[in-house]
Amino acid sequence: MKSQVVIIGAGPSGLLLGQLLHKAGIDNIVLERATPEYVLGRIRAGVLEEGFVGLVKEAGVAQRMDREGLPHGGVKVAFNGEIRRIDLHKYAQGKQVIVYGQTEITADLMEARVASGAPSVYEVENVEIHDLMEDAPYVLFEKDGEQQRIDCDYVAGCDGFHGVSRKTIPETVRKEYEKVYPVGWLGVLSDTPPISDELIYGVSDRGFFLCSMRSNTRSRHYVDVSLEEKVEDWSDERFWDELKNRLPDEVKNDLVTGPSIEKSIAPLRSFVCEPMQYGRLFLVGDAAHIVPPTGAKGLNLASSDVNYLYRVMLKVFKENKPEAIAQYSSLCLRRVWHAERFSWWMTNMLHNFGDEIDRKIMNSQLDFYTGTEAGLRVIAEQYVGLPYEEVT
């Protein structure tokens, strides 16, 4: 087989990149180790920046998102028993975010991929990437016990933290940075109406909480727990009681409880791999970076990588500028480190990791950044997402 671009990974970043390239007339093949059903079963993020929304529209896959997505012009922060609203429209030049689940985006992209006729191969094994420093790299994989080969021009590694792409870069070339936080987020998905029309991030004497949603009838709630906790020890009743004990009085009675659809504990960490490119291989999304979910940057940061790689590929294939690939890693990493810093800062400000003086300082930060014009602007501009740089 031959293709201009091989995309390893059929999550939202791989599928979005594939759809954009296909619409631009750039051949690509998507390889995925799991089944489509498994990919769709992963419960992930749901807050989309305008940059991500714009890419989905450019890919021609925004119809259901436009119809069912929930525009949010603000976000709320609860501390000291009160709730303060950050007006995104006011403090971020009229921008907003859209709440639309990652599962829904992935389903839309899968459907568009099938409709386009562009090839996807699921349930592949033993993927190997070869000759990345040469002019003609190739990818080997096994499907139904038979080894197959794809000759290509470039490889996009969209296969997540545990995938083969990052590990293909020699250890002498890549440098990895990691910080593991001392808590995890216990999350519950339920078919219950949201407690508020906007997300509420909060901190209480009992710990962090987040009241989020996937739609007007489906909610996603979180509380932080120690890394020693096991999800099977948390009954629905215990979770709802704990969440209610953390909520401010003004919204406690608005909480509607119900059976959980999904329940899990996600550890919090920050991770970055540099560089994000090795020869003709480009790392995209979780293959290169992980952020704690506090700043709602994980999926949006992956879409930022997709944006830059797509623009680079347009330069290469449509303008005959192969030298454009040299920009990719530096363009991505500038935005990655900004998002890492914002996510780290939000995480520390909303969790109790230190001693009493640290908590007092974090409380003072919350007061400043949610109570002054300058502070509100800082949070709003970063929450809606920094603008993409131009690819030259």
120-150 exposure pattern, b = at least 16 Cβ within 10 A, e = fewer: bebebeebebeebeeeebbbebeeeeeeeeb
pTM confidence score = 0.94
Tell me the mean pLDDT per 10 residues along the chain, length 392.
Answer: 97 97 98 93 83 96 96 96 96 95 93 96 97 96 96 98 97 97 96 96 96 92 96 97 96 96 94 98 98 94 97 98 97 97 96 89 95 97 95 95
Q: Do the domain assignments include residue 167?
A: yes
Instruction: Using the structure block, give the residue that is written with the tokens 């935005």.
Output: 335
Total domains present in the chain:
1
363-370's contacts with Cβ under 8 Å and 24+ in sequence apart are: 363/79, 363/80, 366/77, 366/79, 366/203, 367/79, 367/80, 370/77, 370/79, 370/84, 370/86
With beta carbons less than 8 A apart as the criterion, state whether 351 and 366 touch.
no
Q: Do the domain assignments include residue 228?
A: no
What is the pLDDT at residue 121? 97
Q: Do the domain assignments include residue 215?
A: no
What is the pLDDT at residue 201? 97
User: Which among 255, 204, 184 is positioned nearest to 366, based on CA atoms?
Assistant: 204
294 CB contacts (<8 Å, ≥6 apart)? Answer: 201, 268, 343, 346, 347, 350, 351
Q: Do the domain assignments include residue 260?
A: no
Tell me the C-alpha distance between 150 and 335, whole Å. 32
Q: What is the CATH number of the domain that holds 136?
A: 3.50.50.60
Q: Do the domain assignments include residue 116?
A: yes
Query: Torsions phi, psi of 320, nearest 5?
Result: 55, 50
What is the pLDDT at residue 236? 97
**Percent of the chain at pLDDT above 90?**
95
Q: Give the number of other CB atoms < 10 A from CB of residue 44.
A: 15
Tens-place pLDDT, residues 77-121: 999 999 999 999 999 999 999 999 888 999 999 999 999 999 999
- Average pLDDT along the chain: 96
Instruction: Using the structure block, give the residue that is written with the tokens 């070869």.
Output: 130
Indicate which residues carry an active-site annotation.
72, 201, 293, 297, 383
Strand partners, 75: 86
Residue 171: domain span: 2-73+95-179+269-351
Cα-Cα end-to-end distance for the chain:
31
With beta carbons less than 8 A apart as the criterion, state whether 166 and 287 touch.
yes
What is the pLDDT at residue 43? 66
Q: Do the domain assignments include residue 81?
A: no
Q: Do the domain assignments include residue 49?
A: yes
Q: Output the six-digit token pair for 322.
A: 């192969």
Helix (H, G, I), strand (E, B) or coil at 349: helix
Q: Do the domain assignments include residue 191?
A: no
What is the pLDDT at residue 41? 82
